[in-house]
Every structure is written in C-alpha cells, then in structure tokens.
Structure 1
C-alpha cells in the first residue's frame, strides 16, 4: 500500500492540464449555444453595468438598499467573467484544455464570488428587516460605516471559504484521467478525478457548502418572518403593498439563487450527476445573473426613474 501511495504521489506532476468536456457531445449545436450564451453574456454585462452606473449617478439611490445592489451587481459581473469567457472559447475550440493552475484559479474565484453573493443576499435581507421593522433606528443600524463593514465581511467570508475549498481539492494527487465532465472547473467534477481517498475532503467541503448556503438562507427566512409580522400590522392596504413591493425583487432572486445552488452543493460529491448538474449550473451561472438586473430594474420604480433620468442626461 505504501509503495502504491508513493507511486501515486510521484505521478501527481504528470497531470498538468485538464480537458473540459462540457458541451462537446452536442456537435454542431455548439455554434448555436455559442451565439446564445454570447448574447446572454453581453446582456448580463450591460445590465449590471447599467445598474452600477445608475446607482452611482443618481443621488436618490444613495441609500444602503441600492449600495448592496450595486455591490451584488459588481460581484456577479466578476462571477460570470470567471466562467463564461472560457466557456465561450471552448465552444469554438477543438482542444478544450485548461492548465492545472488555471483550473485551481477558476475554482477559487468562482467559489469566492458565489459565496460572496450568498452572503450579500443575506445582508440585503437584514437591510429590508431594519428598514421595515425599525424605521426610526434605520439610519443608525445601517450607517455607511456599517454598510462598508458588512460588504467587506461578505467578500472576506466568501474568499475564506473559497481558499479552504480550493486547497482541499487541488492539494489532492491527480494522476489521470484528467477529463472534467463539466464546462468549468467546479469542485464536484474535479475532486472525483483525485487518485486517492477524498472522503474527508468531500465531507469538509460539504459542511462548508451547508454553512455558506444555509446560514444566510436561515437568516433571510428569520428576517422575512419579522417583516411579514410587521407588514400585517400596517393598517392601510397601500402601505402593506408598498412594503411588500420593496421585498419582492429580493425574494425572487433569493429563491432562484439558493434553490439552484442547494440542488448542486447540498449533497456529497459522490452524488454528482453530470448531465443534470450541468443544466442546473447553467441556471445559476448564466440565468440568475441575467435575471438579477432585470428583476431589480423591471420591478423597481426608483431604478426605472433613475435609468430614464440618466438616459435623459445622455441625450442632452
């Protein structure tokens, strides 16, 4: 056994790159997928850049709610940049390889921004709780200093989780095969290629996924429990509708984001199913970032008015 482990350790250096199988089985349909994903990626970029620009230019949107929305848009722009450009290149390439270092880097930044987004959605839930349940204390509870600290904490926690997860995966010995049955270097398909027992690593990663997803999701549920109780006490129907409307966009994004991520990550890597997981992963790496700017702009009158105002300035 010891000699076999030594041989495996010696062969680790033989894996210098991975082959991303991704959508290679689709043949000529890859060109159609390339066109579709390119259009979606451009819409995601333009939507998020529009939201960040509008929030920056319109003084009426300089409040914590839109501050966190702007941070979320920046994070999601980076999040899609980590995955989609390489996926688009692979859809046009014959050889879909990625170096070992690039694969580890992609995993690190993908997980970092993904967990950061989860934490930001939790903080946005707290912001809605403070605004609706404690309106008089809201300027103190959500001062700009506290907002900055919360945003920095989200990024810090996100990339701390990412660092631990990446080290747990890429410090394992890889001695072949090096075919990743996915369109980017995600944890589940990569860790299955390790040529040693990875049960402990998978367990730690699974616990980390549970914490990264369930803690902010539980926090959001508790926050909205208090929010609903407070809204029901509002005497006027118009006041209730206005309060609910400020939460509708956030809740829509939360349900889709956490629903898809939970399906993939709240289970051991041994249960990884390539075809189903690829479909769900496309949902939260492409369609969720696409949905966010649309939901927050189409359902939010303040953002709509700010966009019209900014467009009006451009015309002048």
Structure 2
C-alpha cells in the first residue's frame, strides 16, 4: 500500500447522486505523486463526474477526497494554486495574442512560470504574436495547456486533450506530457485514444456504470483477457456464438454490431477450427482479421462497448 504522503490523490468510497440517478457508485482511487494516471470509460460511465469532483467543480454526495493531502472544503484556495486543468473546449479571447493570453493567466498565480518558458514548453514560439482567433485547433489546444501550466502546478488534469487534433499535434502534446512527468508532476488524463493511454499512462483505471471495473498498468489490464490473439470476423448470415465458444483454444466469443470477436490462446489452433466451422455451416465470410489484444478489446470484453463508441454524445 502506498503511504498517504506519497499520494497526490486519495479517494475512498466516492458516491455522487443526481436525484435517483447514481453517477458514481463507491469509487476508490490512489494516484501517486509523479505518475500519469488514465481514467477511462465509455460515455455515461461516471468518469467525467468523478474528475469534476477531484477538480473541485462538484461536491460529492458522500465519500472521502484528498488532493495533495488537502481537503477542498478547507483548502480550496491553496488547491487551486497548486492545480492546473484543461477542459475539452477552452473559450479564449480571440483578439489577444498568444503572448498576451499567457501573460494574463500567469499574472493570476503567485509562483507562475516565466512567460517565455510556458510558450516554449508548448512549442508556440513562432506564434507568440499571433492572435488567438487565428490559431489552428492543435495550436489552441497547446495554448490551453500552457495556461493550465501557468501556475507551475503539482497536479494537472487533462480532459480529452487531443480530441479532434491531427497526428502531428497529438504527438506534440504527448511530448509535453512526457516532459511534465520527467519533472515529477502528477497528471490525470481522460482520453478515448487507446494508443494515447498506452504511451502516456503509468497506470489506468477503467470506470463503467459508476464503478471501477479494472485497474493496473496497460500490460496488466490487457493480460486480464487471458488471450494471445483476437480473431474478428463478419459472416452472412450471422454465426451462432454458441457454436464458436467450444472450439479449440477459444477463450471467449462476443458479438458487437455485425462483428464477432473471438479471444484465443493459440491462433494456429483456433483459426483453422473457426474456418472449418464457417465452412461447415455454409455461411459466407465477409471479413476476417487477427491482432494482438489491445485495451479496446478489454473494453469490449468488460462493457460490451468500444471506448470510442458514441463520441458525439454528452458524457456523464
């Protein structure tokens, strides 16, 4: 067990109700100082509500929440000075330049990082005199990150920081997060990108229906599938899962929309058996692929949904 003094965030039996709806249902979290923790979950899982409680934007119905060893009710001013956050969308003044915006936000903090350092950290030196309204989506996201870092926070919350960005802009933000980790800062990340979670996060917590359903390092969570490979197939008419589950080396079988996902231990044993079954029942194979298990496969196995399913909907 991690000593309390080594924890940036400590949460015990966190509950949040909205009338009769239980959005968060007894969550426990221990986030160590200096690590990047990923909070993952499908839309409506209670993930955003949990993060907003940690950020001090909502009050819990019950449970214990300590941030940097402090309590929101008693130490709100100090916590806001020591914490930074980015939202999924940040509204800024389009007429101000990048430098003016960073200088304004830095003035809010007693121990602000130098403006030059903040602009350099997010690689916006060439845009320092550009007006915010003229920036691309990726540049605006990097500027928002600079503003979150203005007070040199001990704890940083990043809520879907790379949604909608091109690959180059995503990689630039990844570099910034890696730099923060190297400085010993604690980062809490929510994301719908599995590659992002695997690259940036030391540990992950998966939330669904207000509860933690898995936690551990990315490799540990993937290993819970108990499979070496995943076979995905689409057949017409649809295959009966009950005929596939008993096949040799098949660990589990699941249907998602028109696609069947088979988690298998020995691909060289399972695949020929699956093909024989397809041929034997006389269905037509429209798609067949194999891959090593991923975090998205874990999500599908645990929740019956893909993590990126329904991204256009409001998260709870």
Shorter-chain TM-score tier: under 0.3
Query: TM-score by structure 1 length?
Result: 0.22
Greater percentage in strand = 2
Greater helix share, structure number: 1
Return the TM-score normalized by structure 2. 0.22
Q: Whose relative contact order is higher, 1 or 2, with alpha carbons under 8 Å and at least 6 apart?
A: 1
